[in-house]
């Protein structure tokens, strides 16, 4: 900023705001601490304050009301404590850096321009009249993100407010001191962003609230779309925008949306720890986070053992060249396709006429209800009734049948034998049950008496409990009930439907996928795909790519178990999900809006879905009218040199625009063998560490290669080298060896590509994996090869890289 006078004015204002904040914090502090004590005290003394007396009905009633009153008092105190605590927390968060931006806006028809200071939460002076700081999520704050000085407008629930922005200013404030002030205009770049991007990588993602870009702001504040699709280049801030969007939604809908009504699907468990601090930093609670696999596991785990998607990708990357490999890859593609989705639907519809498979219900070695009886009953229902409804009817019938069978069973010989030989422990257990039953009975009696007193009405019947007479009967009942309980539970869980059998039947080459064959030619290698899938199922296992089709089929047959609580679903790395998975998510969360963020350039799984483009099926999932697509082409993560290089690796990456931040060109180093290469790599690692880079990754293609790299580099004396595997729970700073598919979504100061030779990266299908690995680098990128370079480097102009020489 130009003038000393202005600087002093800004510092003086900052001091004033900080002073007011301190006053408010000081005001709240004793209250916050005190109230907490009070609420705690009431809880502790809760039972001292109420006199529990149940001697007479009147006493009983009085006790009841006294508890209610005490409870109401407590919850009011707790609510007010929570509110003050929240205020106190947000003031404390503001104090070191109360705001980061200012716009002076003159609304049309209003005399003078109003300065609007923007920070991570709002701060109003004690009288409540003067907004000293506006929360970045308020409508007026969007001026700061969307406009440069000149004509500007912002949206409010009552329509657009138009006017002129006379000043736009950015601040860097640390510990209450003004470090920098930048006035921005059309021609001056975003200096705060420049500074933010120049910093090192961290083990936790940072909030970008002070430097949100206009296109990102559109993602954050979109309120209308049922489906928001973001196709954005590597490092364009998709994940950052998604997290800011969560914070925005929680703020805007604070009266009706809770953090646990938002779900973020993340690419791997480590990613969860990477993003977990962004929302708390913004004063919001974290949303639910899960990998899609964790969701699938919940549904399938009890039926079949599910393959991990990372094991699947390892298989695809490693076992190339064999006929089984080809069939598997073909199978992955086929099971992710829209045609397969349709085939599943057709198959389920066909089951309405024939082909349902049930599992008989057995008690020990006796078959109580055979599968054939269920099928007979099932196909006896009116065929116009939906499949899932008929299954529900069958379930109802089975429960009734079981109830009848259970009653009959009480007289069975085994029951009286068991009664005679009941061991002491079990006898006691049954007796305890009986006493409990009696307790409930006594309580019910007392309750009835009070009701009678309160409502002044007589009871319908006089209760009685003939203990002795019921004993035998109840004991027998309890023994049988205990035996029948697992049967009832399994019926309630629909386990009488043989889902594994039904799914396997779809891959019966004899009946040959009739539905699909009708629409199109059967997929390539279909008989092999069938064999592989059925063999796996016969072992009680399920391929990763079968998980969603399996659950989808189950929902078609048994009816959808929907989650109506969740209002927003975020899918990060969205290109790695198949259409079948999207369709499943849509059905699973019927009341949710969806935000999908991804980059088709980083599609590393064979089931990838194109996010944008004319015939992207994703655009039609919720109907085009409810769908909005936003493309991000500016890349913020890497230096200009790294972006120029990675752009050359992928034909579709041509339109990516690097942010103007310069660094060294990517370095290419070749050696005759791995040992020499590792020695050179160890030297470079030491040099990078000495330069002060805190987070460095040696990125490999597979887990096996990671182990090899870790061993070789450790032998070379690299200290504290961390080996990251799919089990690694958290993301940490330091130097690590990591397979590319686990490095998705995260970033490092420096990246070393362990083996960029043609031996490792040869197949065209692996180009995107290679691209993904290279785009993890923020400041430095080095590529190593023992032998010839991967063909992916062929299109790269020599001027874009620096040759590190041949290491012999
Ligand atoms: N507006 C911004 N201000 C400051 N930093 C930003 C901004 N947008 C993005 N960044 C930074 O750029 C980097 C990449 O962001 P992010 O990880 O969100 O990108 P992405 O699109 O999800 O990347 P990828 O697809 O490669 O995983 C992060 O370090 C992030 O902090």
Instruction: List CB contacts of 387: < 8 A, sequence separation 6 or more.
Output: 348, 349, 351, 352, 556, 557
Judge whether 702 is annotated as a binding position.
no
Which of 172, 208, 212 for a ligand 1 pocket mutation test, highest count of atoms within 8 Å of Cβ? 208
Cβ atoms of 577 and 295 within 8 Å: the answer is no
Residue 175, SS3 per DSSP: coil
pLDDT on residue 132: 93
Let me know: does 354 contact 368? Beta carbons within 8 Å.
Answer: no
Please report the pLDDT score of residue 779 as a whole number: 94
633 lines ligand 1 (CB under 6 A): no
CA distance 714 to 705: 14
- pLDDT tens digits along 438-486: 666 666 667 677 777 666 665 555 555 555 555 677 778 888 888 899 9
Residue 238 annotated as lining a ligand binding site: yes
Q: Determine what percent of the chain is predicted with pLDDT higher than 90.
A: 45
Q: State the alpha helices, DSSP H only, in 95-233.
A: 142-146, 191-198, 214-220
pLDDT the model gives residue 87: 86
Ligand 1 pocket, residue 638 CB under 6 Å = no
Q: Is the CB of 636 under 6 A from ligand 1?
A: yes
Confidence tier at 675 by pLDDT (50, 70, 90): confident
pLDDT for 2 = 58
Which of 139, 65, 60 has its CA nearest to residue 105? 139
Ligand 1 centre and the CA of 572: distance in Å? 13
DSSP H helical ranges for 493-525: 499-506, 514-519
44 band by pLDDT with thresholds 50, 70 and 90: low
Compute φ and ψ for 523, nearest 5 degrees: -60, 155
Contact call for residues 214 and 43 (beta carbons, < 8 A): no
Compute CA 278 distance to the chain's CA centroid, rounded to the nearest angstrom: 14
pLDDT for 497 equals 95
Q: How far is 692 from 413, CA to CA, in rounded Å? A: 80
What is the token pair recorded at 366? 């006796």
Percent of the chain with pLDDT over 70: 87
233 is in an annotated binding site: yes
Ligand 1 center to residue 237 CA distance, Å? 3
| Least trusted range by pLDDT, from 114-123, 533-542, 671-680, 780-789 | 671-680
pLDDT of residue 268: 86
Res. 339 pLDDT band, cuts 50 70 90: confident
Q: Are 7 and 181 in contact (CB under 8 A)?
A: yes
C-alpha distances (whole Å) from 267 to each of 135, 682, 775 are 31, 30, 16
| Ligand 1 atom closest to 240 (CA) | 18
Ligand 1, atom 25, residue with closest C-alpha? 234
What pLDDT score was predicted for residue 802?
Answer: 87
Give the residue from 244, 232, 237 showing the smallest Cα distance to 141.
Answer: 244
> How far apart are the C-alpha atoms of 240 and 281, rounded to whole Å?
13
Q: What are phi and psi of 276, to 5 degrees?
A: -70, -15
SS3 content of the chain, % helix, strand, coil (to 5): 50, 20, 30
Domain 640-807 sits in which CATH superfamily?
A: P-loop containing nucleotide triphosphate hydrolases (3.40.50.300)
Tokens at residue 32, please? 């916050």
Which CA distances in Å does 1 have to 5, 17, 170, 210? 10, 20, 10, 18
Q: Measured from the CB, is residue 208 less than 6 Å from ligand 1?
A: yes
Total-model pTM: 0.85
Segment 615-636 mean pLDDT = 88
The ligand 1 atom nearest the CA atom of 210: 3
pLDDT digit string, tens, across residues 247-298:
999 999 988 999 999 999 998 888 888 888 889 888 888 999 988 988 888 8
What is residue 475's predicted lDDT score, i.e. its pLDDT?
Answer: 78
On the CB side of 313, CA atoms within 13 Å amount to 21
Please list the residues that pair with 183 across neighbouring strands: 169
- Give pLDDT, residue 751: 97
- pLDDT at residue 370 greater than cutoff 60: yes
Domain boundaries, the chain: 4-94, 640-807
CA–CA gap between residue 650 and residue 156 (Å, rounded): 42
What does the block give as tokens for 76?
A: 């009011």
Render pLDDT for 560-614 as a digit per residue (tens, 0 to 9). Answer: 788 899 999 999 999 989 888 999 999 999 999 999 999 988 887 766 667 666 6
Residue 201 has pLDDT above 70, yes or no: no
> Across the strands, what pairs with 150?
165
Report pLDDT digits (tens) over 438-450. 666 666 667 677 7
Q: Rounded to an integer, what distance in angstroms lies between the CA atom of residue 613 and that of residue 619?
A: 8
Instruction: Report the half-sphere exposure of 611 (CA within 13 A, side-chain side).
Output: 28
Separation of alpha carbons 497 and 65, rounded Å: 50
pLDDT at position 666 over 60:
yes
d(CA 774, CA 602): 11
Return the structure tokens found at 26. 């000081």
Residue 242 is predicted with a pLDDT of 94
* DSSP 8-state secondary structure symbol assigned to residue 802: E
Checking if the pLDDT of 187 tops 60, the result is no
Strands (E), 336-433: 361-363, 366-369
Q: What pLDDT, in 10s, does the model give residues 691-728?
A: 999 899 999 999 999 999 999 999 988 888 999 999 88
Pocket of ligand 1 contains residue 145 by CB under 6 Å: no
Residues β-bridged to residue 154? 161
pLDDT given at position 37: 56
- Pick from 57-61, 185-189, 611-615, 726-730 the range whose average pLDDT is largest: 726-730
Q: Give the residue, 459 or 316, on which the prediction is more confident.
A: 316
Mean pLDDT, rounded, for 42-52: 62
Q: Identify the pLDDT of residue 704.
A: 92
Are 335 and 545 a contacting pair, CB within 8 Å? yes
Q: What is the mean pLDDT of the chain?
A: 85
Q: What is the pLDDT of residues 414-433, one digit of tens each?
A: 887 877 777 677 667 666 76
User: Are the C-beta atoms of residues 232 and 656 closer than 8 Å to each other?
Assistant: no
Residue whose C-alpha is closest to residue 777's, from 606, 645, 580: 645
Calpha distance 767→649 (Å, rounded)? 8
The rounded Å distance from CA 606 to ligand 1 centre is: 25
Instruction: Classify the C-alpha dihedral 221-222-227-230 as positive or negative.
Output: negative
């Amino acid at each position: 900023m130009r003038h000393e006078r202005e600087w002093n004015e800004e510092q003086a204002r900052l001091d004033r705001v900080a002073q007011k904040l301190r006053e408010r914090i000081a005001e709240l502090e004793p209250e916050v601490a005190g109230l907490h004590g009070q609420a705690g005290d009431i809880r502790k003394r809760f039972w001292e304050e109420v006199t529990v007396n149940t001697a007479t009905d009147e006493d009983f009633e009085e006790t009841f009301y006294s508890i209610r009153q005490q409870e109401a008092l407590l919850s009011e105190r707790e609510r007010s404590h929570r509110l003050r605590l929240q205020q106190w927390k947000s003031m404390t968060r503001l104090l070191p850096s109360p705001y980061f931006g200012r716009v002076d806006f003159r609304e049309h028809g209003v005399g003078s321009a109003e300065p609007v200071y923007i920070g991570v939460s709002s701060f109003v002076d004690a009288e409540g009249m003067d907004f000293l700081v506006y929360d970045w999520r308020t409508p007026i704050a969007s001026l700061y993100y969307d406009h440069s000085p000149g004509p500007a407008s912002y949206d409010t629930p009552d329509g657009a407010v138009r006017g002129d922005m006379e000043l736009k200013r950015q601040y860097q404030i640390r510990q209450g001191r003004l470090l920098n002030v930048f006035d921005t205009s059309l021609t001056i770049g975003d200096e705060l962003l420049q500074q933010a991007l120049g910093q090192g990588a961290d083990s936790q993602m940072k909030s970008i609230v002070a430097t949100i870009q206009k296109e990102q702001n559109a993602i954050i504040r979109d309120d209308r779309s049922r489906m928001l699709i973001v196709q954005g280049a590597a490092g364009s801030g998709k994940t950052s925008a998604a997290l800011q969007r969560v914070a925005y939604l929680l703020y805007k809908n604070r009266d009706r949306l809770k953090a646990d009504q938002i779900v973020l699907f993340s690419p791997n468990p480590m990613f969860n720890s990477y993003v977990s601090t962004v929302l708390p930093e913004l004063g919001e609670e974290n949303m639910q986070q899960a990998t899609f696999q964790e969701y699938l596991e919940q549904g399938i785990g009890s039926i079949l053992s599910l393959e991990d998607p990372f094991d699947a990708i390892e298989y695809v990357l490693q076992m190339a060249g064999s006929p089984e490999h080809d069939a598997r890859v073909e199978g992955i593609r086929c099971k992710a396709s829209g045609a397969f989705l349709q085939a599943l639907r057709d198959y389920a519809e066909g089951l309405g006429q024939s082909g349902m498979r049930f599992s008989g219900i057995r008690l020990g070695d006796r078959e109580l209800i055979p599968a054939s009886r269920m099928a007979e009953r099932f196909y006896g229902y009116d065929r116009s009734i939906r499949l899932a409804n008929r299954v529900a009817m069958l379930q109802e019938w089975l429960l009734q049948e079981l109830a009848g069978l259970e009653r009959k069973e009480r007289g069975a010989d085994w029951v009286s034998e068991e009664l005679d030989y009941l061991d002491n422990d079990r006898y006691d257990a049954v007796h305890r049950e009986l006493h409990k039953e009696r307790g409930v009975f006594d309580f019910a009696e007392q309750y009835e008496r009070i009701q009678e007193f309160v409502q002044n009405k007589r009871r319908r019947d006089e209760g009685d409990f003939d203990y002795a007479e019921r004993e035998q009967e109840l004991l027998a009942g309890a023994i049988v009930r205990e035996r029948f309980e697992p049967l009832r539970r399994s019926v309630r869980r629909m386990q009488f439907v043989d889902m594994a059998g039904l799914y396997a039947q779809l891959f019966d080459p004899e009946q040959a996928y009739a539905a699909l064959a009708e629409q199109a030619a059967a997929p390539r290698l279909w008989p092999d795909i069938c064999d592989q899938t059925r063999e796996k199922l016969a072992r009680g296992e399920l391929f990763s790519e079968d998980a969603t089709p399996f659950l989808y089929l189950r929902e078609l047959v048994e009816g959808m178990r929907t989650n109506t609580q969740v209002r927003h679903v975020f899918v990060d790395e969205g290109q790695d999900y198949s259409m079948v998975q999207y369709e499943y998510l849509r059905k699973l969360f019927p009341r949710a809006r969806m935000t999908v963020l991804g980059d088709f350039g980083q599609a590393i799984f064979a089931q990838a879905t194109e996010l944008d483009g004319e015939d992207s099926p994703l655009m039609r999932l919720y109907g085009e009218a409810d769908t909005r697509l936003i493309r991000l082409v500016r890349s913020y993560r890497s230096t200009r040199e790294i972006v120029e290089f990675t752009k050359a690796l992928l034909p579709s990456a041509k339109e990516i625009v690097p942010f103007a931040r310069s660094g060294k060109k990517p370095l290419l180093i070749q050696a005759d063998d791995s040992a020499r290469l590792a020695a050179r790599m160890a030297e470079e690692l030491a040099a990078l560490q000495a330069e002060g880079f805190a987070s460095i990754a040696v990125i490999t293609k597979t887990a096996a290669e990671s182990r090899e790299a870790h061993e070789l580099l450790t032998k070379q004396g690299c200290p504290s080298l961390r080996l990251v595997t799919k089990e690694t729970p958290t993301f940490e700073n330091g130097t690590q060896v990591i397979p590319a598919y686990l490095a998705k979504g995260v970033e490092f100061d420096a990246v070393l590509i362990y083996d960029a030779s043609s031996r490792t990266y040869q197949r065209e299908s692996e180009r995107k994996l290679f691209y993904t690995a290279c785009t993890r680098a923020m400041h430095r990128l080095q590529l190593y090869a023992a032998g010839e370079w991967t063909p992916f480097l062929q299109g790269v102009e020599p001027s874009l890289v620096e040759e590190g020489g041949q290491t012999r």
